[in-house]
Structure 1
Amino acid sequence: MMWLLLLTLPCLGSSVPLTSDPGPGTELVGIMGGHDASKGVWPWNVGLWFWNETELDWDLICGGSLIDPQWVLTAAHCIPETNPKPQHFMVELGAVRPSWRDIVLVASIILHPEHRDENGIPQADVALLKLVASVRPSNLIKWISLPPAYSAFPPGTRCWVTGWGRIGPEEPLPEPYNLQEVLVPIVADETCRQQYLSIGFVVKDDMLCVGSPGQGACKGDSGGPLVCKWNHIWVQVGVVSWGEGCGLPNFPAVFARVTSYLPWIRHHIHSSP
């Protein structure tokens, strides 16, 4: 069953979180086959909080990444409202266990103009959140580099995915909700395309497939970063987006390919006051 990777983590007194409608044939689906991440290992990893007007409470709905002192990259389908209000979103920085210790308000939200739902699959699944103020780097908070447009990561390259999602198809992340990490290989584009085409879904050129049987993204990791080493530095290669099942042998998780969106990302970051 198809899933979008929205998080449904009830913590810090929150009631049942609000998630957007994933569309027909999809299922809301975290890191599977991974383990607890230590403080400071992934200092760009952030949690995206959303104000649930129905329950009058804040819900941790997605992951994201700090890519600049004032900008966060996440998945567009993580934004639950048609006309999102920045005041309904907050970003938590530098935490492996949600705690609200480093919360930053959001000043503006920019969805990719080509983002849409196509037969239950999110297209151009990237969004930028501008924070109200630049953050200062520390041992726990840093931003991740973006990859050069010409960078290549061949099939089999092992990269890291992080998130607070489920640790199994029907197994939510238990308290104390520690951030999970897993090392997974990049899957050949053509292999992934053929596998998904067999069940009627199209993996496009701006998408990247990553995972291995029993390991990878699962329900709840939307918007989180896929990071790889390039010339000995960490760069963000993908944004968690969608997939079939959870850790199934022939259906790796699908990510938005960051290099496909570099001009759009840089345009907004560099043109902003």
Structure 2
Amino acid sequence: MIGLLFAVLILAPAAFGCGVPAYPPLVSRVVGGENARPYSWPWQASLQYYSNGKWSHTCGGTLIATNWVMTAAHCISSSMTYRVLLGKYNLAVEEKGAVAIYPQKLIVNKNWNSQNVANGYDIALIKLSQHVTLSDHIQLACLPPAQSILSSNTACYVTGWGRLQTNGPLPDDLQQGLLRVVDYATCSLPTWWGSSVKPSMVCAGGDGITSSCSGDSGGPLNCQGADGRWEVHGIVSFGSAISCNQYHKPSVFTRVSAYISWIEQVMASN
């Protein structure tokens, strides 16, 4: 019996480790966004705000601990009332196993300046008012090793409920889009993003077809590691003001690996 108990203790964490969905995403090579497989990005959160008697989706987020969600600093306003939805696929319907949790604390990186998005530091952590129970529909994302840099052309997936195209409709179903990483040397060229992009950011896309868009902000850039687990390497930060999928203006993400020590410090002290 002791042996059996020991085996259970060893196995239990693996059942809900990080980055391994119960329903693996269908990672096709479709150009342009597509409906995700339901619940295949189980760390995806919808950050919603309350206005005029109803809740509305404003940003994405990533569940990184049972009571912590990572999002973009520019998604957070001290004047708004928020809730976090987890375990969601279709935002328009009630779904079994989905939960809505209110934030206990909203912690924006102290170096963030809303007047200067290109300065970086576009990261915030939301401490939830209660721990969420992990399930097939709600799981934790893996974070990348500190300071790790994705190689150029790595295939990653941006996920979210953002607009389907510039000024287009907001989808009910979670979307995913294949984006290939553009290295900093290329992305910082004058004909690309120039000095607007910093080494603490990740660029992905820029093919003029697929990109993040309004409403995807704060959500994850999911990249599969060599061990098969998905790691969230980016937080949707900004894109072209002209159109979501402008050629040579890839989606720009906060590079999560640049903030691992900040994330650990905030979670430990709050």
Q: TM-score of the superposition, structure 2-length normalised? A: 0.80
Larger Rg: 2
CA distance in 2, matches of 1:126, 1:203: 15
Q: Are 1:129 and 2:123 matched, yes or no?
A: no
Cα offset, 1:195, TM superposition? 4.0
User: SS of the counterpart of 1:270?
Assistant: helix
Q: Are 1:210 and 2:204 matched, yes or no?
A: yes
Report the counterpart of residue 35 of structure 1 in structure 2.
Answer: 34
* Contact residue 62 and residue 141 of structure 2 kept, 8 A: yes
- Deviations along 1:156-212, one digit per CA (max 9) or x if unpaired, are 0000100111111132134xx1110011100011111114677x7521111110113
Q: Are the structure 2 counterparts of residues 196 and 166 from structure 1 closer, same or farther at C-alpha, using a change threshold of 3 Å? A: farther
Cα offset, 1:126, TM superposition? 0.4
Report the counterpart of residue 225 of structure 2 in structure 1.
Answer: 230
Percent of aligned pairs with the same residue? 37
- Report matched runs for 1:155-174 at 5 Å: 155-174=152-171
Q: Are the structure 2 counterparts of residues 224 and 39 from structure 1 closer, same or farther at C-alpha, using a change threshold of 3 Å? A: same
User: SS of the counterpart of 2:101?
Assistant: strand
> Greater relative contact order: 1 or 2 (C-alpha under 8 angstroms, separation 6 or more)?
1
Report the counterpart of residue 243 of structure 1 in structure 2.
Answer: 239
Residue among 136, 144, 147 paired with 1:139: 136
Report the counterpart of residue 180 of structure 2 in structure 1.
Answer: 185
Q: Are 1:78 and 2:59 matched, yes or no?
A: no
Listed as ranges, the gaps of 5+ residues in structure 2 are 1-30
Q: Which has the higher strand share?
A: 1
What RMSD over aligned residues (CA atoms) do the two structures have, in Å?
A: 1.9
CA distance in 1, matches of 2:259, 2:146: 9
Q: Which has the higher helix share?
A: 2
CA distance in 2, matches of 1:79, 1:122: 17
CA distance in 2, matches of 1:120, 1:255: 11
For 2:261, the aligned partner's letter is: P
Count of residues in correspondence between the two structures = 232
Cα offset, 1:266, TM superposition? 0.6
CA distance in 1, matches of 2:244, 2:66: 34
